[in-house]
Amino acid sequence: MCGRFSIAKSKEEIAKRFNVGTPANFKPRYNIAPMQELPVITSRNPNEISMMRWGLVPSWSLDASTAANMINARGETIGSKVPFKHCIKDQRCLIPADGFYEWKKEGKLKVPYRFTLGSEELFAFAGLWDSWENPETGDILNTVTIITTEANKLVSDIHERMPVILRKDLERLWISETITDSQMSSLLKPYDPLSMSSYKAHKAVNAAANDSPDCLLHAPKIYPGETFSLFE
């Protein structure tokens, strides 16, 4: 799965990398969590960053309570699952990022690890989005989910699933109006583990409310005679 990620780059770097316009108030994010806003590039507005809430609320939902359960969509079944199958046609999106976090159980602790591309450059997750209208207020809520696939060899030691990371040269194909079903399926595969890296992350990332650069730090090394808790 993917439950936390970062996009710790400036709006200028994002604009240059994805060739898009960015919101004037955009700031780097170090620990994006579900139910928070995140930047997306949609198939309907491919030249601008749009801000959407993480956790899909299908357009036909009676209320927004489904969001917390729909932060991820399994790539193998999105074409048949009711919440996602209408989105796959023309509501695909890119979700810019530069790393994501997973937790591994080590003894009695769950220890965070950060995964990046080897060069720590920007990349894009494959996602789906939808718009929901609040029946009481008429307000429109735009929401998004991150597509997942089976974990590659690097991630599988920590978790059995991982987010779909698109190759740079195939990002625009994912949001193209002319993409075929077979092309979509071919993109929803594990990323090359040899092009990725990982490290044990700092305890700061454990708290979803903590969105500081400390989240990107490596966990301190423990030397003989010292003690350290990732959760203190």
Q: How many domains does the chain have?
A: 1
Six token digits for residue 120: 């720590």
Catalytic residue, chosen from 13, 37, 87, 102, is: 102
State pTM to two decimals.
0.92
Structure confidence at residue 108 (pLDDT): 86
- Model confidence band, residue 222 (pLDDT cutoffs 50, 70, 90): low
User: Cα(128)–Cα(146) distance, rounded to whole angstroms?
Assistant: 7
- Model confidence band, residue 230 (pLDDT cutoffs 50, 70, 90): very low
User: In b/e form, how buried is each residue of 66-100, taking b as 16+ CB within 10 angstroms?
Assistant: bbeebbbbebeebeeeebbeebbeebbbbbbbbbb
Q: Where do we find the tokens 């974990």?
A: 151
Residue 229 within a domain: no
Give the pLDDT confidence of 106-124 residue by residue, as tens digits. Answer: 888 889 999 999 988 999 9
Residue 103 has pLDDT above 90, yes or no: yes
Residue 164 within a domain: yes
8 Å CB contact between 22 and 7: no
Mean pLDDT of the chain: 92
Residue 225 within a domain: no
Q: Order the strands of the 99-106 sheet from edge to edge.
A: 29-32, 5-7, 99-106, 109-117, 196-200
Residue 225 has pLDDT above 90, yes or no: no
More confident residue, 176 or 83: 176
% of the chain surpassing 90 pLDDT: 81
User: Cα(48)–Cα(40) distance, rounded to whole angstroms?
Assistant: 8
- Model confidence band, residue 133 (pLDDT cutoffs 50, 70, 90): very high
Annotated catalytic residue 87: no
Q: Where do we find the tokens 């976090």?
A: 101
Residue 222 within a domain: no
Residue 231 has pLDDT above 80, yes or no: no
Q: Count CB-CB contacts under 10 A for residue 210.
A: 15
- Mean pLDDT over 162-191 rounds to 96
Give the pLDDT confidence of 8-49 residue by residue, as tens digits. Answer: 999 999 999 999 999 999 999 999 999 999 999 998 999 999
Annotated catalytic residue 215: no
Residue 227 within a domain: no
Q: Which domain holds residue 165?
A: 5-216
Residue 228 has pLDDT above 80, yes or no: no
Residue 230 within a domain: no
User: In b/e form, how buried is each residue of 130-149, taking b as 16+ CB within 10 angstroms?
Assistant: bebeeeeeeeebbbbbbbbb
Residue 223 within a domain: no
Structure confidence at residue 227 (pLDDT): 47
- Domain of 25, CATH number, reads 3.90.1680.10
Identify the CA nearest to 96 among candidates 8, 169, 212, 34: 8
Q: Is 7 helix (H, G, I), strand (E, B) or coil?
A: strand
Structure confidence at residue 226 (pLDDT): 45
Structure confidence at residue 85 (pLDDT): 86
User: Cα(131)–Cα(138) distance, rounded to whole angstroms?
Assistant: 12
- The residues that bridge with 54 in the sheet, in sequence order, are 144
Residue 232 within a domain: no
Residue by residue, DSSP assigns 194-229 as: GGEEEEEBPGGGGSTT--SGGGGSBPPPPPTT----
